[in-house]
Structure 1
Amino acid sequence: MGATRWAVGVVGVVAAVAVLAGCDTPPAPASAPGPTGAARPAGPSRPPADRPPGAAAPGPAAPSAAADEPCPAGGVRVRQGGGDSAMGVRIMSIELVNCSAEPYVLEGHPQIRLLDRKRAPLEAEVLHGSGGIAGGVPNMDRPAERVTLEPGRTAAFGMLWRNLVTDPSVPAAEGWAVEVTPRPGAPVVTAELTHSVDLGNTGRLGISAWSAATR
């Protein structure tokens, strides 16, 4: 999977969130229980020398399509990309691969919907950009741009959220799949997740605009 321009490096995100937690925000509510699936890595790894500045370190291996699997009707596949967490703030990228034989054009923000373990939709407010969830996260609020993907190339968008329990009477929400409509009128494609989008009960998720991968 190609590294993507949208995502901030893991070390940068941790530093930015730490500054916010120390200077701008009141004491946060307790974090919600983390994902109950595969355990997170012991710690973030530094990007290799050939990864572009600001690109996210790869996350845990996500389910991926076999090379001989037919390309979906819409001409693209989506999959979980890299991500990290720090002090209750989470980031994750969702990658889109053009598996068709023609260029694929993206612009603006995708439409997304989170699904729980039983594939029921979660109620969550999807915000364009960081949405006040956390500041100082580069590329989450960058202007949308037109992205033309040649066959085999990759684009991505970022997701940002807080894992907090702000109301003990409201069950914590966890998304284990993301339905993505890449552009208006396109068929929905689904990315299965190895780590959940654990919103707690904040009910808010910020997403960035599409950005082309860099190699």
Structure 2
Amino acid sequence: MAKTPACPPGGVRLVEGAGDAAMGLRVADVQLVNCGTEAYVLEGYPEIRLLDAKRAPVEAAVQHGGAGIAAAPTGAEGDAHRIELRPGQAAGFGMVWRNLVTDSTVPAAEGWVLEVTPRAGAPRVELELRHRVDLGNTGKLGIGPWKAAAR
């Protein structure tokens, strides 16, 4: 049986959710679980940063929503709402990007670690990804607002 890691400082942990890839368009879901003992309030969008396999920052333009990345809804759309997570509850956000190489002389960017600041003033939480964020060389990543996890 897998051992659950200790709850990080700040009282929340990240979990890599489902993802999908088709014809260069990628979508992924990241969950934030309140593993602490107090309520945890989220509002708006997380602040994120991608790191490569050597933990160096990946140059990426992070935007709210998927406009300019995908023509159809991707799950990264929606209005931001205040969410209060009781201990054990989760919320998540969607990410959308294209694995698109537009210039073969520019190296393709790959993120293997996701750093998330869930709310202003909170400690950053880190997640080593099982599936890379392969941005190609467009450097664009869309994220959605925090949404309560389905129960």
TM-score (norm 1): 0.68
Q: Aligned in 2, Cα 1:88/1:138: closer, same or farther, shift over 3 Å?
A: closer
Larger Rg: 1
Aligned-residue offset at 1:133: 0.3
User: Which residue identity does 1:163 align to in structure 2?
Assistant: N
Structure 1 stretches of 4+ with a deviation exceeding 2 A read: none
| CA offsets 1:98-150 (integer angstroms, 9 cap, x no match) | 00011110000000000000011000000001131002225422000111111
| CA offsets 1:47-98 (integer angstroms, 9 cap, x no match) | xxxxxxxxxxxxxxxxxx832x321111100121101011100000111000
Residue aligned with 1:178, SS: strand
Q: Quick one: distance in 2 between partners of 1:154 and 1:97?
A: 4
Q: Quick one: distance in 1 between partners of 2:111 and 2:46?
A: 17
Q: Quick one: distance in 2 between partners of 1:66 and 1:158?
A: 27
User: Which residue identity does 2:133 align to in structure 1?
Assistant: V
Count of residue pairs brought into register by the alignment = 150
Aligned to 1:117: 53
Residues 79, 192 of structure 1: 8 Å contact kept: no
Q: Quick one: distance in 2 between partners of 1:121 and 1:146?
A: 29
The answer to which structure has the higher strand fraction is 2
Aligned to 1:45: none
Q: Quick one: distance in 2 between partners of 1:138 and 1:71?
A: 31
Q: Alignment identity in percent?
A: 61
The answer to which structure has the higher helix fraction is 1
Please, which of 13, 25, 28 is the counterpart of residue 89 of structure 1?
Answer: 25
Q: Quick one: distance in 2 between partners of 1:190 and 1:125?
A: 19
Gaps of 5+ in 1: 1-64
Aligned-residue offset at 1:188: 0.4
User: Which residue identity does 1:196 align to in structure 2?
Assistant: R
Please, which of 80, 104, 107 is the counterpart of residue 144 of structure 1?
Answer: 80
Residues 111, 180 of structure 1: 8 Å contact kept: yes
Please, which of 53, 66, 83 is the counterpart of residue 3 of structure 2?
Answer: 66
Q: Aligned in 2, Cα 1:138/1:174: closer, same or farther, shift over 3 Å?
A: closer
Aligned to 1:175: 111
Residue aligned with 1:81, SS: strand
Aligned to 1:3: none
Please, which of 30, 41, 49 is the counterpart of residue 105 of structure 1?
Answer: 41
Gaps of 5+ in 2: none
Q: Quick one: distance in 2 between partners of 1:139 and 1:162?
A: 14
